[in-house]
Amino acid sequence: MELYKENQLKIYNSLSKTKEVFTPITEGRVGMYVCGPTVYSNVHLGNLRTFMSFDMIFRYLLHLGYKVRYVRNITDAGHLESDADEGEDKIAKKARLEEIEPMEVVQRYTVNFHEVTKKYNFLPPSIEPTATGHIVEQIEMIKEIIEKGLAYEVNGSVYFDVLKYSENNHYGILSGRNIEDAIHNTRALDGQSEKRNPQDFALWKKADERHIMQWPSPWSDGFPGWHLECSVMSSKYLGEQFDIHGGGMDLKFPHHECEIAQSHSCSGVQPVNYWLHANMLLLNGQKMAKSTGNNILPEEILTGENKILSKAFGVGVVRFFIMQAHYRSILDFSDEALLASEKGFHKLMEAMEVLKELKVAKTSTFNVTDWKNKCYQAMNDDFNTPILIANLFEAVKFINQIKDDKASITATDLELLQNALHVFVFDVLALVNDAKEQSSDKLEGAVELLIKLRKEARENKDWALSDQIRDELADIGIQLKDGREGTTFSVN
């Protein structure tokens, strides 16, 4: 029997603002859409945290036995510098500044995004569509919204009529905003805007001569609004109604609110049953963002080449650090926090190694079945990874007690514990045991130092010290071999 039939998963739904029992539209199948990166620069750690949260959710749904279609888009056009439909396209601006083609910018940073997510042990999504690959479908959706009387064209640009939509629908249903309050708190238009109302948003923008990225449409040569692509691609690949839509907390308004209005206008139904939002990552007490420069790149953490951290940290430590906080909680990034996480991560990885060598007994002094159930209860409570990790360390304590002959475990329970730990540590949290690699590097450095000291001893004709170094290394399984190119070693 599939695990999802035995586990009641509850998810915090941003739409209802409560935890709800997860019931997919089609039993055994899940459609999940997550807003992907705008590829005009390298992905920073704040972005990565959001995508890592949904990688964890994707992994757990798969573990429960669901067949998941996970769609994560690439925004390669239409995302302007301002949410108020003003400014340059972020990709076109980067292309202009670097004097290259926009698609060169897109290619460079899409490749970077894929390289980073691979390094950090992400599963790839089922489908990864692009905005530019769906221009025709976006034009067709705009036509449909115009036909419904909920959009209007001005000078070659098309805008969604928020006030008209709000006559019969709730614009603000996700963010909790009230359209009357929004009208009251919004300044009047300055006379230069084409919009009828300040709340209206662009479905299609007419491009001026300087705008590099533009396509023909019934209204003008231009480009689609940023919000439109997600409505188009989610409905194309997941249907007019699907199970889960995810993204960063900062996308709730206006991006996701606009998506709901667009999709609902066409289909007449609420497009998404469960809206999930991951919270932000802070650096120096402030939001991590490309625009402010207050950020650190994921690659810089692995190399140690940055001005924030005292040393390099491995992928396993970073994933462990991020998973120690609930995905809906704000997480503060610092050198001290990573150093503390590194200690906990190494303790967990050491226990995973000890687990392989444990001796079995006739009785168990630890209820492994109850412990395993607690792990599932944590994950079934809106993917509560901090509680899961606390449970993992309860198992670590037990493993070390067995090692020290202070506890015992039966063969059946040992197999159950090994399988459960592997699932939660490596399959769900997707931690990487790169602690081994770091230990190997340290070992190599230490042996090279001893080889150097032995070489100096031989040059000084101190044969006793030279032999002592060789023999004591041999006793612990490290064999030295002298040759014309110098001394090498092997570990037995």
pTM of the entire structure?
Answer: 0.88
Which DSSP state fits 73? -
What would the mean pLDDT of 119-137 be, rounded to a whole number? 98
Max mean pLDDT range (69-78, 187-196, 453-462): 69-78
CA-to-CA distance for 433 and 425, rounded, in angstroms? Answer: 10
Query: Count of alpha carbons within 13 Å of 299, Cβ hemisphere only?
Result: 8
**pLDDT tens-digit series, residues 367-380:** 999 999 999 999 99
Top-ranked range on mean pLDDT: pick from 202-216, 284-298, 391-405, 446-460: 391-405
Candidate from 12-21, 39-48, 338-347, 427-436 with smallest mean pLDDT? 427-436
pLDDT of residue 438: 55
What is the rounded CA–CA span in Å between residue 263 and residue 114? Answer: 29
Supply the pLDDT for residue 386: 98
- Lowest-confidence pick of 79-88, 144-153, 413-422: 79-88
Domain limits, the chain: 3-282, 309-428, 435-491
Residues 174 and 254: their CA atoms lie apart, in Å, by 10
Residues in the chain: 492
- Residue-wise pLDDT for 37-54, tens only, equals 999 999 989 999 999 999
Kind of pairing, strands 29-34 and 67-72?
parallel
Predicted pLDDT of residue 280: 93
Tell me yes or no: is domain 3-282 CATH 3.40.50.1000.
no
- Is the CB of residue 379 less than 8 Å from the CB of residue 10? no
Please check whether the domain covering 309-428 is classified as CATH 1.10.730.10.
yes
Place of tokens 């909920």: 150
β-bridge mates for residue 489, sequence order: 480
Same fold, 3-282 and 309-428: no
Question: Would you state the pLDDT for residue 456?
Answer: 86
Q: Residue 193's pLDDT is what?
A: 79
Tokens of 414: 């040992």
- In this structure, the number of other CB atoms found within 10 A of the CB of residue 153 comes to 17
Which residue has 């606009």 as its token pair?
Answer: 258
Q: Which one has a higher pLDDT value, 483 or 308?
A: 308
What is the average pLDDT score of the chain? 92
- Cα gap 296→262, rounded to integer Å: 35
End-to-end CA distance of the chain: 45
Report the pLDDT value the prediction gives residue 178, as an integer from 0 to 100. Answer: 86
Query: Which pLDDT tens digit goes with each residue over 132-180?
Result: 999 999 999 999 999 999 999 999 999 999 999 999 999 999 999 888 7
